[in-house]
Amino acid sequence: MKNIVPNLAISTLLVLLVFSSCRESDLEDDLSAKQTYSFTFNGKSYLLVKEARSWQDAVSYAVANGAYLAEINSEEEQIAIFTQLSTFADINFNETNNQFGFAAVWLGGNDIAAESVWVWNGNNDETDVQFWNGGVDGNTVNGSYNNWGNEPDNDGNQDVLCMGLEATPINAVGKWTDLDGSDNNLFFVMEYD
């Protein structure tokens, strides 16, 4: 009988340890183990997470870390982010390939709430800013910047935005494309205020 209590205590401790380490590795906001690349532009910090995720998962990561998926508000911001990604971030294109065969990264644009109403909402909350209305032949809203390729075309119902890191037959490198956020797992860029 003497040894039962200590054994129970040790067993309980082991169970707790295993449980907590499982929980640790499941945490959505555990960025320490991930490959990342950080940079700044115009007083903002950005973090590229080199882990291919669905768009919604990428948003969850960003929000859990006090950030949002990058919202590109000017040509200068587009150039800064694209230059960092294409020149310095050391991205393995094969790891962030989309279903159409070109490398891309998620940004915070989407038309989830209403088709063809494109907003920046990189934390997927109630606050967004519309920047585009319509499809390929749509129009900018309130003079907002955009860098669409021959997109958005909502091909098969595509409601989230990525930046291409490779040219395609219809889009130059760096252009924006709408994709299905669940059918594609991509690296993603977080922006911090």
DSSP SS3 for 81: helix
Q: CB neighbours of 6 closer than 8 A, spacing ≥ 6?
A: none
Residue in 71, 63, 55, 52 with CA at minimum distance from that of residue 29: 63
Nearer to Ca ion, 91 or 104 (CB): 104
Residue 57 or 153: which CB sits closer to Ca ion? 153
Q: What distances in angstroms separate CA 136 from CA 116, 118, 151, 176, one per listed residue?
A: 10, 12, 5, 11
Can you tell me the distance from the alpha carbon of 172 to that of 21, in angstroms, rounded to the nearest whole number? 44
CB 93, min distance to Ca ion, A: 19
- As measured in angstroms, the least distance from the Cβ of 179 to Ca ion is 6
If the CB atoms of residues 30 and 37 are measured against Ca ion, the closer one turns out to be 37
Question: Looking at beta carbons, which pairs linking 7-15 to residues 24 or more positions away fall under 8 Å?
Answer: none
User: Residue 24 or residue 183: which is nearer to Ca ion going by CB?
Assistant: 183
E runs forming strands in 1-63:
36-41, 44-53
Q: Report, in Å, the least distance between residue 115 CB and Ca ion.
A: 5
The CB-of-116 to Ca ion minimum distance in angstroms stands at 7
Residue 167 beta carbon to Ca ion: minimum distance, rounded to whole angstroms: 15
Instruction: Indicate left, alpha or beta for 157 from its phi (over 0: left) and psi (-120 to 50: alpha).
Output: left
Q: Which residue, 92 or 182, is less far from Ca ion as judged by CB?
A: 182
Of 84 and 158, the one with the shorter C-beta distance to Ca ion is 158
Residues that bind Ca ion (CB under 5 A): 71, 73, 111, 121, 123, 125, 127, 151, 153-155, 158-159, 177-178
Q: Which CA distances in Å does 20 have to 13, 14, 152?
A: 10, 10, 44
Shortest Å distance, C-beta 123 to Ca ion: 5
